[in-house]
Amino acid sequence: MEKIVKKKVGFTCGVFDLFHVGHLNILKCAKRECEHLIVGVTTDERAEKRKGRRPVIPFVERLELIESIKYVDTAVALDTGKHEMWQRLKFDIIFVGDDWKGSAEWNDLERKFSAAGVIVRYLPYTKNTSSTLVRNIIEQRVIN
């Protein structure tokens, strides 16, 4: 009888607005630790609800950018919570920047994912760069 080897499916997500090296680092590190990487790209509506503003780059364009990155096997719309995405996609491991470690949101998600047998893996957050920082620099230059 042939042994069936289950692929280790990983998941990470983000808005990926104003794509920068920190985004790339997360995707690269995540892909090293799984055979198939699914990346959720936050919809414009969900980003606006969570952050209070729409992304600069429209969802369809951000999805296309993420789909074209060699570390990404599948890109999907993130239109719901992370645990709900797991119920839909059944990934084995979820990757998140270590800047979220210890937050109330991720402490709760760790409990939920642990009960489901999903590994939560915190990856090094790239300091000194973020979409918010890039947005602020652009806005300052436009104002001045």
The band of 104, judged by pLDDT with boundaries at 50, 70 and 90, is: very high
Least confidently predicted of 31-35, 120-124, 133-137: 133-137
User: How far is 35 from 123, CA to CA, in rounded Å?
Assistant: 17
Comparison of pLDDT for 141 and 3, the residue scoring more: 141
E strand or H helix that includes residue 96? strand 93-97
User: 99: part of which helix (H) or strand (E)?
Assistant: none
Q: Over 60: is that where the pLDDT of 10 sits? A: yes
**Which tens digits make up the pLDDT trace of 11-56?**
999 999 988 888 999 999 999 999 999 999 999 999 999 988 899 8
Greater pLDDT, 137 or 113: 113
Q: What is the pLDDT of residue 37?
A: 97
How far apart CA 27 and CA 12 sit, in angstroms, is 8
Element (H, E) at 38: strand 36-42
Residue 104: strand, helix, or coil: helix
What average pLDDT does the structure give for the chain? 90
- Segments making up each domain of the chain, as ranges: 9-143
CATH code reported for the domain at 9-143: 3.40.50.620
The alpha carbon of residue 91 and the mean position of all alpha carbons in its chain are separated, in whole angstroms, by 13
Q: What is the pLDDT of residues 53-84, one digit of tens each?
A: 899 899 999 999 999 999 999 999 999 999 99
